[in-house]
Chains A and B, each alone.
Chain A
Amino acid sequence: DTGVSQNPRHKITKRGQNVTFRCDPISEHNRLYWYRQTLGQGPEFLTYFQNEAQLEKSRLLSDRFSAERPKGSFSTLEIQRTEQGDSAMYLCASSSAGKGPKFETQYFGPGTRLLVL
């Protein structure tokens, strides 16, 4: 059982730089989610994919953010021109969507902690 993996685990960058995070979901899961969590708060939904299709994006996902899941397997989240307010934990989760939200359980990765200086 490999679980959901995320890389890198930590990233420090300077304001204005671009960063990219990767998420590898559990292999048989067709749904993949991105969340953001700031200190002391619960995670906030950013976007999700079913297979390679991006089905929903939060208003939190500004034009500087882009997410892809090119072959319906791993996903990347890119932040362009980072700002200090982007400093947060970025969490990825995956699930099998077959039974719908009544029964669906999301499995989270350990997250990527981003610090923008």
Chain B
Amino acid sequence: DAKTTQPNSMESNEEEPVHLPCNHSTISGTDYIHWYRQLPSQGPEYVIHGLTSNVNNRMASLAIAEDRKSSTLILHRATLRDAAVYYCILRDGIKAAGNKLTFGGGTRVLVKP
């Protein structure tokens, strides 16, 4: 499985944007970039995913580098409820191996009031 590299932790102030980087230099052409987050004492939840183009939804934006070797999850205005561990995950869009999620260590986001 292609691996991802994320910083262990990041801090942000409330109401400010948060940019979470993810490196995936060995990404293959059929790998989709998925982001999940895990709030304290909860199971992970889906945030966003993309292949090549930047993506936006109500939770976040995903900016994907042109060579696809890195991506950035953007939380536009962090709230205290966004404090969580954010996981960047590659999923093969063709092979059955893409069915399971392969989590790394993720980035722990701390939001300060």
Q: How many residues of B contact A (CB 8 A)?
A: 23
The closest CB in chain B to the CB of A92 belongs to B43
- A97 proximal to B (CB < 8 A): yes
- A108-B43, A108-B44, A110-B43 given; A42·B96 CB < 8 A: no
B43, B85, B96, B102: the one contacting A93 at CB < 8 Å is B43
B42, B44, B103: the one contacting A44 at CB < 8 Å is B103
Question: In the complex, A49 Cα to B87 Cα: how many Å?
Answer: 23
A38 to chain B, nearest CB (A): 12
Q: Determine, out of A14-22, A65-73, A78-86, A99-107, the stretch whose residues face the partner at the interface.
A: A99-107
Question: In the complex, A8 Cα to B105 Cα: how many Å?
Answer: 26
8 contacts across the A-B interface (CB closer than 8 A): A41-B105, A42-B85, A48-B99, A100-B98, A101-B32, A101-B98, A101-B99, A102-B32
- A26 proximal to B (CB < 8 A): no
A48 adjacent to B100 (CB under 8 Å):
yes
Query: Using Cβ atoms and an 8 Å threshold, which residues of chain A touch B99?
Result: 31, 48, 55-56, 97, 101, 104
Query: Using Cβ atoms and an 8 Å threshold, which residues of chain A touch B32?
Result: 101-102
Question: In the complex, A101 Cα to B101 Cα: how many Å?
Answer: 10
- A114 proximal to B (CB < 8 A): no
Question: In the complex, A106 Cα to B36 Cα: how many Å?
Answer: 10
A42, A45, A48, A56: the one contacting B87 at CB < 8 Å is A42
Give a binary string over B32-58; 1 marks a CB under 8 Å from any A CB, 0 the rest: 100000000111111000010000000
Query: Using Cβ atoms and an 8 Å threshold, which residues of chain A touch B46?
Result: 105-107
B73 to chain A, nearest CB (A): 15
Query: Using Cβ atoms and an 8 Å threshold, which residues of chain B touch A105?
Result: 46
Give a binary string over B78-113; 1 marks a CB under 8 Å from any A CB, 0 the rest: 000000010100011100101111111110000000
